[in-house]
């Protein structure tokens, strides 16, 4: 007690950003104090977080912290602690503020961690105090060139899977991790307004400004890090109006003599076969409208119109998963697409909602869950080596049948975004027109793929619309335009 009474009485200040505690059960801010440039945490807080016993030890000139019979003694005079008989150095000795005893934050990782059951990690940059085994990669985002085009690089260390998606005027990079240790990003410039950790704490959100066009995203996985490069061009004149209908069309620069985006020689050759999947069929009617309109019939009607457009105008071979009223299982649809060696897959549906007031078209592409990502990674890691006819061997990547889409998410996201942009020129769109969800029919196709819900059969007006030739032709034209644009601008290069 005498020793402690003689400790300097310090008045600390709160840090600019509170520390966040991350455990298996909780994610919450915890209070810390800055004294003479060092960050301290109260031993009362340490006792409650780590379930340790704290006792002042006058004989040892320190404070003893006991966890499951193991004791750490932190000195009140020297910047050090004794852990299992070994001495570890600390940035400062135990301090006192009012009635509270404080230890430097590094006490947790250097002195408590060796006697604790779970890993304790402190990420200074992201201000995360992590208790337990988590995958929390270090994330560094930087703007390489303000442009335009603006180039952003996001580096994730160690190399974890990153799924990019474009959501309106944002690029979202979903990292397969428990949380992100993100270094505060640099001031933004060019066509990028903001880079930050997204609403979901495992997502990096990059907000683009109104002049930005469709970003190109490429991902490279090295041994030590996953690197995502995002190139944001200026919007083409017609694109500035489409995603931002509320904006006046004025700021678009006068059309320079730049040639229209026609495919150059050799470009576009990657799209040779496309699969159109009219949803439902046979025993499965899909949604039934109040006046008896069946989803399975509308999907087949529009699919047939789209097939004709694509075959005759684009010269692309189109395979349908059904061309009459028959039941086709989801796996069978995927098998038709994969066995046709198709380059693009489009599933057509008509939607249903619990309220009759809901209207509008929606585009979906596949969302992989964590299990899917893990399965994908373990599949990628376990390549199969087969003997070849000449006596050698050949490695073959084994990807589970039901996860074939995992490799194409990035291209599928581009295709879905283009579909949404083209559809809104011809049809009313739903409140959330672009969605990423675990759609069954998309998971097993080994090519870029999207699903379109054209309208709501549960809405009386739309039930009438979807039967009209005008509406069906408009939707088919929009999807044709999207396929053409994707072929010319968004298709993965072979």
Residues in contact with 278: Cβ distance below 8 Å, sequence separation at least 6, in sequence order = 296, 299, 300, 302, 303, 320, 321, 322, 348
- 45 part of the interface to other proteins, by CB under 8 A: no
Q: How far is the CB of 354 from other proteins (least distance, A)?
A: 4
Q: H or E element: which one contains 437?
A: strand 429-437
- 180 part of the interface to other proteins, by CB under 8 A: no
Per-position DSSP letters for 34-64, written without gaps between them: EETTEEEEEHHHHHHHHT-EEEEETTTTEEE
Using a 10 angstrom Cβ sphere, with 0-12 exposed, 13-18 middle and 19 or more buried, the burial of residue 52 is buried
Instruction: Work out the widest C-alpha separation in the chain, in whole angstroms.
Output: 93
Give the C-alpha separation, 295 to 347, whole Å. Answer: 13
- 25 part of the interface to other proteins, by CB under 8 A: yes
Instruction: Give the HSE-up count for residue 443: Cα atoms under 13 Å, Cβ half-sphere.
Output: 17
Q: How many residues sit close enough to other proteins to count as binding (CB under 8 A)?
A: 40
Per-position DSSP letters for 167-180, written without gaps between them: ETTEEEEEESSS--
- Measured from the CB atom, is 241 or 285 closer to other proteins? 285
- 283 part of the interface to other proteins, by CB under 8 A: no
Q: How far is the CB of 363 from other proteins (least distance, A)?
A: 10
| 353: DSSP letter | -
Q: Site residues for other proteins, window 200-259 (CB under 8 A)? A: none
- 412 part of the interface to other proteins, by CB under 8 A: no
| 416: DSSP letter | H
Using a 10 angstrom Cβ sphere, with 0-12 exposed, 13-18 middle and 19 or more buried, the burial of residue 165 is buried
Q: Site residues for other proteins, window 83-102 (CB under 8 A)? A: none
Q: How far is the CB of 435 from other proteins (least distance, A)?
A: 8
- 11 part of the interface to other proteins, by CB under 8 A: no
Pairing of strands 273-278, 344-351: parallel
For other proteins, the binding residue among 110, 127, 211, 349 (CB under 8 A) is: 349
Q: How far is the CB of 437 from other proteins (least distance, A)?
A: 6
CA angle 376/381/382 to nearest 5° reads 100
For other proteins, the binding residue among 182, 306, 441, 466 (CB under 8 A) is: 441
- 365 part of the interface to other proteins, by CB under 8 A: no
- Measured from the CB atom, is 88 or 457 closer to other proteins? 457
Binding segment toward other proteins, per CB under 8 A, in 75-83, 302-310, 348-356, 466-474: 348-356
Query: How many other C-beta atoms lie within 10 A of the C-beta of residue 493?
Result: 5
- Measured from the CB atom, is 286 or 448 closer to other proteins? 286
- 352 part of the interface to other proteins, by CB under 8 A: yes
For other proteins, the binding residue among 431, 469, 493, 494 (CB under 8 A) is: 431
For other proteins, the binding residue among 259, 369, 392, 470 (CB under 8 A) is: 369
Q: How far is the CB of 451 from other proteins (least distance, A)?
A: 7
Give the C-alpha separation, 429 to 431, whole Å. Answer: 7
- 453 part of the interface to other proteins, by CB under 8 A: yes
- Measured from the CB atom, is 10 or 399 closer to other proteins? 399
Smallest CA-to-CA distance from 436 within 450, 419, 447 is with 450
Dig out the tokens for 162 from the structure. 């990153």
For other proteins, the binding residue among 345, 364, 365, 480 (CB under 8 A) is: 364
Site string for other proteins, 292-311 (x = CB under 8 A): ---x----------------
- Measured from the CB atom, is 16 or 371 closer to other proteins? 371
Q: How far is the CB of 26 from other proteins (least distance, A)?
A: 10
Residues in contact with 82: Cβ distance below 8 Å, sequence separation at least 6, in sequence order = 62, 72, 73, 75, 88
Query: How many other C-beta atoms lie within 10 A of the C-beta of residue 167?
Result: 16
Site string for other proteins, 383-402 (x = CB under 8 A): -------------------x
| 459: DSSP letter | S
Dig out the tokens for 215 from the structure. 């970003």
- 315 part of the interface to other proteins, by CB under 8 A: no
- 332 part of the interface to other proteins, by CB under 8 A: no
- 407 part of the interface to other proteins, by CB under 8 A: no
- Measured from the CB atom, is 52 or 404 closer to other proteins? 404
Q: Which residues bind other proteins (CB under 8 A)?
A: 25, 279-280, 284-288, 295, 329-330, 349-358, 362, 364, 369-372, 402, 431, 437-441, 443, 451, 453, 456-458
């Amino acid at each position: 007690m005498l020793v402690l009474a003689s400790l300097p009485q310090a008045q600390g200040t709160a840090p600019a950003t509170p520390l966040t505690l991350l455990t298996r059960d909780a994610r919450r801010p915890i209070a810390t104090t800055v004294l003479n440039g060092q960050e301290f945490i109260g031993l009362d807080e340490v006792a409650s977080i780590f379930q340790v016993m704290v006792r002042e030890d006058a004989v040892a000139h320190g404070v003893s912290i006991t966890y499951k019979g193991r004791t750490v003694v932190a000195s009140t005079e020297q910047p050090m602690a004794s852990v299992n008989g070994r001495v570890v150095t600390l940035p400062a000795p135990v301090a006192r503020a009012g009635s509270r005893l404080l230890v430097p934050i590094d006490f947790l990782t250097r002195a408590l961690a060796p006697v604790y059951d779970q890993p304790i990690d402190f990420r200074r940059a992201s201000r995360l105090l992590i208790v337990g085994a988590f995958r929390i990669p270090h994330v560094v985002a930087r703007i390489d060139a303000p442009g335009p085009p603006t180039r952003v690089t996001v580096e994730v260390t160690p190399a974890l899977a990153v799924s990019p998606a474009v959501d309106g005027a944002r690029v979202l990079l979903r990292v397969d991790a428990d949380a992100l240790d993100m270094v505060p990003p640099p001031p933004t410039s060019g066509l990028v307004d903001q880079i930050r950790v997204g609403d979901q704490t495992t997502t990096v959100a990059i907000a683009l400004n109104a002049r930005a066009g469709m970003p190109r995203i490429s991902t490279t996985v090295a041994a030590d890090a996953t690197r995502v490069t995002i190139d944001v061009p200026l919007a083409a004149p017609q694109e500035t109006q489409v995603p931002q209908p509320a904006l006046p069309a004025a700021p678009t620069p006068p059309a320079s003599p730049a040639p229209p985006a026609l495919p150059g020689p050799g470009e576009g050759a990657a799209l040779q076969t496309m699969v159109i999947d009219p949803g439902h069929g046979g025993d499965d009617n899909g949604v039934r409208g109040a006046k008896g309109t069946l989803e399975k019939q509308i999907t087949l009607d529009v699919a047939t119109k789209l097939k004709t457009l694509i075959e005759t105008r684009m010269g692309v071979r189109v395979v349908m998963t059904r061309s009459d009223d028959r039941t086709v299982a989801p796996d069978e649809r995927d098998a038709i697409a994969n066995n046709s060696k198709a380059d693009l897959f489009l599933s057509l549906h008509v939607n249903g909602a619990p309220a009759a007031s809901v209207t509008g078209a929606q585009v979906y592409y596949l969302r992989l869950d964590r299990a899917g990502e893990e399965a994908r990674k373990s599949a990628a890691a376990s390549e199969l080596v087969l003997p070849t006819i000449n006596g050698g061997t050949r490695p073959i990547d084994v990807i589970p049948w039901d996860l074939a889409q995992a490799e194409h998410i990035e291209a599928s996201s581009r295709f879905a975004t283009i579909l949404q942009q083209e559809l809104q020129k011809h049809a009313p769109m739903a409140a959330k027109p672009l969605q990423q969800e675990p759609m069954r029919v998309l998971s097993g196709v080994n090519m870029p793929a999207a699903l379109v819900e054209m309208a709501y059969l549960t809405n009386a007006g739309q039930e009438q619309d979807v039967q009209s030739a005008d509406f069906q032709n408009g939707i088919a034209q929009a999807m044709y335009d999207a396929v053409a644009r994707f072929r010319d601008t968004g298709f993965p290069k072979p």
